[in-house]
């Protein structure tokens, strides 16, 4: 009798059983809703001649695509867009490849202690904020006193003004950003490599596969899902060339190659209170990112049979 009742209420029981889980999920969902969904309403600012003193929902003047038109007509917008794509593009590509290569190399190391030390050392710069890192870079890259140029001088290269010369600025931004962040990716890949079934390696070596073959046929396929995930997620950064970094390191001499959408928006939006144009630039970036993410997910799904959702 009692048992019957329980059976008839399976779905009720399920809900009851999972109720704590749902409740535990709630704070996260609420946070996302409050901080990521509600602010989406601010998108309307991109289509208004926004005057802050009229109030957020006040009687603002609607100007259609006026802000976008203003932005795209700025004489430096093409070069700013170009800089953004070049810097961010290289960061995405190198940021994907470098950690994989380093993780594979580290994985081949025999001395475990040494491996751990290196792993920690390359991870460390990730925790230093760009505002501190920028003064460190200013010092080590200085043409007269910086250590990098002392080394270059030692091997007979003329000192290079990495942060003041248009020929080197973008490269410096890309390399320093990769240097700062590749440790993080490396650790993720290393963790994933350890979860590959060691029997696969044994089987491969019995079949006569050498180190390289094992790497190609066992390790990389084992990492495939993670690599694709990282790639899809990184597409989000395709127009994020790194405001923190560039804002702290650029100067008027390298506007030509170093000015990016975010820094331009900062100068327009916050310094001159042009909220409309700033919102339009942000929306433009988000739109492109959405397209790129969707596209890369579609490709991953279609060709690699990868499902995130």
Residues that bind another protein (CB under 8 A): 19-20, 23-24, 26-27, 30-31, 34-35, 51-56, 58, 70, 74-76, 138, 142-144, 161, 163-164, 251-253, 255-256, 259, 267-268, 271-274
N- to C-terminal Cα separation, the chain: 42
Write down the least CB distance from residue 252 to another protein, Å.
4
Write down the least CB distance from residue 30 to another protein, Å.
5
- Are the CB atoms for 130 and 244 separated by under 8 Å? yes
The CA distance from 124 to 115, in Å, is 14
Residue 66 or 222 with smaller CB distance to another protein: 66
Write down the least CB distance from residue 32 to another protein, Å.
10
Write down the least CB distance from residue 213 to another protein, Å.
49
Residue 207 or 256 with smaller CB distance to another protein: 256
Residue 53 or 206 with smaller CB distance to another protein: 53
Residue 25 or 105 with smaller CB distance to another protein: 25
- Are the CB atoms for 169 and 258 separated by under 8 Å? yes
Residue 16 or 116 with smaller CB distance to another protein: 16
Max CA pair span of the chain: 92
Note the helical H segments in the chain: 2-8, 10-32, 66-73, 77-107, 112-123, 130-140, 147-154, 169-194, 198-206, 211-214, 220-234, 243-249, 255-258, 261-265, 271-272, 275-304
Write down the least CB distance from residue 209 to another protein, Å.
48
């Amino acid at each position: 009798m009692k048992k019957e009742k329980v059976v008839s209420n399976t779905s009720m029981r399920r809900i009851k059983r999972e109720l704590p889980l749902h409740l535990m999920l709630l704070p996260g969902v609420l946070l996302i809703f409050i901080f990521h969904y509600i602010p989406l309403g601010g998108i309307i600012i991109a289509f208004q001649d926004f005057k802050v003193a009229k109030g957020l929902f006040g009687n603002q003047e609607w100007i259609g695509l006026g802000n976008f038109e203003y932005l795209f007509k700025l004489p430096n917008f093409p070069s700013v867009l170009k800089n953004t794509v070049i810097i961010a593009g290289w960061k995405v590509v190198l940021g994907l490849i470098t950690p994989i290569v380093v993780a594979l190399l580290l994985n081949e190391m025999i001395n475990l202690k040494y491996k751990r030390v290196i792993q920690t050392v390359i991870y460390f710069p990730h925790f230093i904020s760009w505002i501190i890192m920028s003064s460190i870079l200013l010092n080590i890259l200085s043409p007269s006193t910086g250590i990098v140029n002392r080394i270059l001088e030692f091997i007979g290269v003329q000192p290079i003004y990495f942060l003041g010369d248009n020929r080197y600025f973008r490269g410096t931004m890309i390399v320093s950003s990769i240097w700062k962040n590749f440790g993080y990716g490396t650790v993720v890949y290393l963790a994933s490599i350890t979860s590959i079934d060691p029997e696969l390696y044994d089987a491969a070596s019995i079949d006569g596969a050498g180190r390289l073959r094992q790497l190609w046929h066992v390790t990389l396929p084992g990492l495939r899902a993670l690599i694709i995930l990282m790639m899809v997620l990184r597409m989000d950064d395709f127009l994020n060339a790194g405001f923190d970094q560039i804002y702290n390191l650029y100067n008027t001499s390298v506007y030509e190659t170093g000015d990016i959408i975010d820094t331009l928006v900062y100068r327009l939006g916050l310094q001159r209170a042009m909220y409309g144009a700033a919102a339009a630039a942000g929306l433009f970036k988000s739109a492109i990112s959405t397209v790129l993410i969707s596209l890369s997910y579609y490709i991953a799904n279609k060709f690699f049979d990868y499902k995130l959702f």
